[in-house]
Structure 1
Amino acid sequence: MAGHSKWANIKHKKAKEDKARGKLFSKLVKKITVAAREGGGDPEINNDLALVVQKAKDANMPKDNIERAIKRGTGELEGVNYEQFVYEGYAPAGVALYMEIMTDNRNRAASEVRHVLSKNGGNLGESGCVAWMFERKGQLIIDRSEVEVDEDEIMLAVLEAGAEDITVDEAAVEIITEPGDLKSVRDALEDMGYKFTDSDVAMIPENKISLDDPNDAKKVLKLIDALEDHDDIQEVYANFDIPDEVMDQIEDEI
């Protein structure tokens, strides 16, 4: 999710834990396989594949794993046939959910996602019910605990590289681009010496619901966590924000 509230920083830490457990790698293997199947195995001419391979490299996935996933996608190695689609719905407090699914069993995925939602106070909606609340954008992340950043310098660099927007706080830098400009902006900034902890094309909410009630915040975060833990759900996007003072109250409970 876009933005770098206290929750976004916690989410980044959880992503590192996922990587350690191998969950992130298994999801990236699916994405690489599907991208190679749909657009070919050459990242030079398949932009979707180039983006997910870069994401895998950012996560320190071994080169052999990446190459095997590409070969499964192109049919050089035997592999599972994954289907990709989107589910939309709502979390508690009216928060919109946009979920990108990749699975080898659509019926199983539908049943399990519906179960996770209903168990945690959410519900599945009709196709298109929340997609209009989001905009597809390129997103680059710099973790400031890993990379030293001068705020004035990077703001000028981002404008020079052709990005749309930048958000800087004490924990992270988020750079927003048009989807087609993501690679060129990243390349330009890397040439200037910047290193990224993540980059992807993401669904960015145009407006956010502020979760001022700690109980609502806990319910939404519990649901998001359960959805992200599901193997068939690649990405979960939601249009909520949690004020820092609320996040401070509930941080030890999530």
Structure 2
Amino acid sequence: MAGHSKWNNIQGRKNAQDSKRGKIFQKISREIYMAVKSGGPDPSTNPSLRMVMDKAKSNNMPNDNIERAIKKGSNTAENENYDEVTYEGYGPNGIAVLVHALTDNLNRTGTNVRVAFNKNGGTMGEKGSVSYMFERKGYIAIEREGLAVDEDTMLMSVLEAGGEEMETSEEVFEIYTDPSDFPAVRDALEKEGYTLAKSEVTMVPQTTVEMPEDKKAIFEQMLDKLEDDDDVSEVFHNAEM
């Protein structure tokens, strides 16, 4: 992870994500629904729900939307069922791409994902073809603007909270944790008064590949097509944008 800034990629996709805010809320609502169905409506006893709620809040999803999704998941009369599935493949320049989906129709989703790859300079891969290039990690970003804390002080806070690693740039502190430690680290940093710009359990590439200028447009188009799909919940890649 050293030298890789996930924050740069997050910021690079921000405008594209902002334009799809309603669709993102719809997808997160589905994740909340499934988390409630499997583990109950109380985030204090359902870690999966707590993580999805953190994701909702980091995407500025209104509380009303979150509560509606929890209520829907708690309704025993609701009978929707979704399968979790991961697709793997390559983008332009051999970029590794992981696609996580939550779907009620595997044939439809698989076809749509394949088309998004094939028509935008990529190819679908076999199971396991790129997943080994990623590691599941807790990720926390704290923006430095207006923050009167130096790197050494922040690193001490991170280590005391149980974090594994911190990357520092002019704009942000990026903190990585073991997934099982993520809730405790997040809560400890919030308790110290830090405002978290991003907090999630995510897939972090172990190495990154620089995206050539002449391939950026078609790769962005691939990401847009994948993220536009109603069944796709998250897309990860190892491109340095």
Q: What's the TM-score, normalizing by structure 1?
A: 0.85
- Give distance in 1, aligned partners of 2:141 and 2:82: 28
- Give distance in 1, aligned partners of 2:204 and 2:111: 27
Q: CA shift at 1:103, angstroms?
A: 1.6
Q: State the partner residue of 1:234.
A: 233
Q: Confirm or deny that 1:178 pairs with 2:178.
A: yes
> SS of the residue aligned with 1:116?
helix
Higher mean Cα deviation, 159-168 or 223-232? 223-232
Q: 1:205 to 1:137 in 2, by over 3 A?
A: same
Q: State the partner residue of 1:15.
A: 17
Q: State the partner residue of 2:107.
A: 107
C-alpha contact (below 8 Å) 1:5/1:241 kept by paired residues: no
Q: 1:56 to 1:79 in 2, by over 3 A?
A: farther
Q: Which runs of 5+ in 1 are unaligned?
A: 243-254
Q: CA RMSD in A?
A: 2.2
Q: Confirm or deny that 1:224 pairs with 2:223.
A: yes
Q: 1:40 to 1:96 in 2, by over 3 A?
A: same
Q: State the partner residue of 1:61.
A: 61
Q: Which amino acid aligns with 1:229?
A: D
Identity %, equivalent residues: 40
Q: Over residues 181-227 of structure 1, what are the superposed CA-to-partner deviations in whole Å (9 max), with x where a residue is unaligned?
A: 1110011101111111221111111111122x211233323222321
Q: Over residues 154-175 of structure 1, what are the superposed CA-to-partner deviations in whole Å (9 max), with x where a residue is unaligned?
A: 2221122110111222333321
C-alpha contact (below 8 Å) 1:98/1:236 kept by paired residues: yes
Q: Confirm or deny that 1:148 pairs with 2:147.
A: yes
Q: CA shift at 1:13, angstroms?
A: 4.0
Q: 1:149 to 1:98 in 2, by over 3 A?
A: farther
C-alpha contact (below 8 Å) 1:163/1:177 kept by paired residues: yes
C-alpha contact (below 8 Å) 2:98/2:236 kept by paired residues: yes
> SS of the residue aligned with 1:31?
helix
Q: Which amino acid aligns with 1:200?
A: E
Q: What's the TM-score, normalizing by structure 2?
A: 0.89
> SS of the residue aligned with 2:13?
helix
C-alpha contact (below 8 Å) 1:73/1:79 kept by paired residues: no
Q: Confirm or deny that 1:3 pairs with 2:14.
A: no
Q: 1:159 to 1:58 in 2, by over 3 A?
A: same
Q: 1:102 to 1:115 in 2, by over 3 A?
A: same
Q: 1:11 to 1:171 in 2, by over 3 A?
A: farther
Q: State the partner residue of 1:248.
A: none
Aligned residues: 238
Q: Confirm or deny that 1:205 pairs with 2:213.
A: no
- Give distance in 2, aligned partners of 1:51 and 1:7: 21
> SS of the residue aligned with 2:139?
strand
Matches within 5 A, 1:54-203: 54-76=54-76, 78=78, 80-144=80-144, 148=147, 150-152=149-151, 153-203=153-203
Q: Which amino acid aligns with 1:3?
A: S
- Give distance in 1, aligned partners of 2:113 and 2:157: 42
C-alpha contact (below 8 Å) 2:7/2:141 kept by paired residues: no
Q: 1:16 to 1:148 in 2, by over 3 A?
A: farther
> SS of the residue aligned with 2:121?
coil
Q: Which runs of 5+ in 2 are unaligned?
A: none
C-alpha contact (below 8 Å) 2:7/2:174 kept by paired residues: no
C-alpha contact (below 8 Å) 2:72/2:78 kept by paired residues: yes
C-alpha contact (below 8 Å) 1:9/1:171 kept by paired residues: no
